[in-house]
Amino acid sequence: MSNAAIDDRRSIQKSYHPHVGVHLRDMFAARVLDGQTAVVTGGGTGIGLAIARALGRQGARIVIASRSQEHLDAGMEALRESGCESIAVSVDVRQPGDVDAMVARALEAFGRIDILVNNAAGNFICRAEDLTPNGWNAVIGIVLNGSFYCSRAVGRHMISRGGAGSIVSILANYAWTGSAGTIHSASAKAGVMAMTQTLAVEWARHRIRVNAVAPGPIESPGAARQLWPTDDAVNRITKTVPLARWGTAEEVANAVLFLVSPHAAYVTGEVLTVDGGQWLGRGTFGFLDLGTTPTSEPGS
């Protein structure tokens, strides 16, 4: 995306929200992650790359991990352009041995891991009755099993060095509501949410904070081809968002940055939803357009 296009998008966002970016610039004026190392799975593209870039700009040394060498190459180029110190590691998070090797490579390069972002995911729309066992296992393997394997491996390192660290997992806002066509993904994400809350309690004594971010509709060319391939689908989804727009990968990254930063030092076991209010629904009177519909109080 060109700089002009990015500026245009930011101008549009500020027309909705005059303070977009202002508070984050103030809150993170200093490089609050200097000296820390962050591992981001699925970090070569999309939301994962935005997260890696945001953490790197705050001083963290970045390890991006992915099964795709193409994604790793593109991610490394983007991080170099952003001035981030980073390495890339090929990993299949479904394989515990691969995950252990990823952690070993990160420690070899940077000596420690302070932050883990479980972002690796797989998803596709499918009716439950049509979903094959292989399709189910593929998504459960990446999202639920992979998030546990990564959290376990990094958590053991954090505990062994005396504790302290932060883990954030990327969920979806249908993890607690359900959504048609997402039986595999919703089940996996709900499992990760339960894992997040459980680890938050269990590892608090080690000063390891464990949280999650649940995005709603997010601009993402890769996901768009699979999940919302038509303009009609995009328009219908947009109508379900009270803020009347899609979010950006950078907005998800900002949420992750807050949760891993010292500003969230008393936050653990939480799910921060970034969906423009979508999951809340429109309620009984959602059909009303309060921007044009006259209202009056009883007795007026």
Known catalytic residues are: 174
- Beta-strand ranges (E) seen in 10-107 are 37-41, 61-66, 86-90
Q: With beta carbons less than 8 A apart as the criterion, state whether 176 and 218 touch.
A: no
Looking at residue 215, what DSSP letter applies?
Answer: E
Match 């680890």 to its residue by tokens.
Answer: 199
Comparing CA positions, the residue from 98, 81, 190, 63 lying closest to residue 139 is: 190
Cα–Cα distance measured from residue 24 to residue 158, given in angstroms and rounded to the nearest whole number: 28
Beta strand pairing call for 86-90 and 115-118: unpaired
Cα–Cα distance measured from residue 143 to residue 156, given in angstroms and rounded to the nearest whole number: 20
Task: Give phi and psi for 194, each to the nearest 5.
Answer: -65, -40
Comparing CA positions, the residue from 255, 268, 137, 277 lying closest to residue 204 is: 268
Task: Give phi and psi for 218, each to the nearest 5.
Answer: -125, 135
37-41 β-sheet, strand order? 86-90, 61-66, 37-41, 115-118, 165-170, 208-215, 271-274
Tell me the one-letter amino acid at 291.
G
- Beta-strand ranges (E) seen in 139-297 are 165-170, 208-215, 271-274
Comparing CA positions, the residue from 149, 259, 160, 164 lying closest to residue 195 is: 149
